């Protein structure tokens, strides 16, 4: 998606980084021609990230996770340390 000179100038003037715009575009709520990521939405995002981090840390302790799938059907799963070391 393109950007106008106007948004580039405003981002520069207001200290808004492209990564912030990207987060808003991904997690914000569309309201007519605007996409809004307010404090409540940001708090939900931060809570979700904390949850994902905890899960990832538990998985890391086990060396990772493998899910075996064929034809879009999940067959089995196991901790990476329990079978092979990749």
Each residue of 4-16: pLDDT tens digit? 999 999 999 999 9
Q: Which of 38, 18, 20 is nearest to 28 (CA)?
A: 38
Burial code (b: 16+ CB inside 10 Å, e: under 16) for 53-82 equals eeeeeeeeeeeeeeeeeeeeeeeeeeeeee
Q: Judge whether 41 and 29 are in contact, CB under 8 Å.
A: yes
57 — alpha (psi -120 to 50), left (phi > 0) or beta? alpha
> Which residues in the chain land under pLDDT 50?
86
Model-wide pTM > 0.85: no
């Amino acid at each position: 998606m393109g950007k106008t000179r106007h948004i580039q100038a405003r981002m520069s003037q207001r200290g808004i980084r492209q990564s912030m715009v990207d987060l808003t575009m991904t997690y914000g709520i569309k309201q007519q021609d605007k996409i809004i990521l307010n404090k409540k939405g940001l708090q939900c995002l931060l809570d979700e990230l904390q949850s994902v981090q905890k899960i990832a840390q538990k998985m890391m302790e086990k060396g990772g996770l493998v899910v075996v799938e064929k034809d879009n059907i999940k067959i089995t799963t196991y901790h990476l340390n329990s079978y092979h070391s990749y």
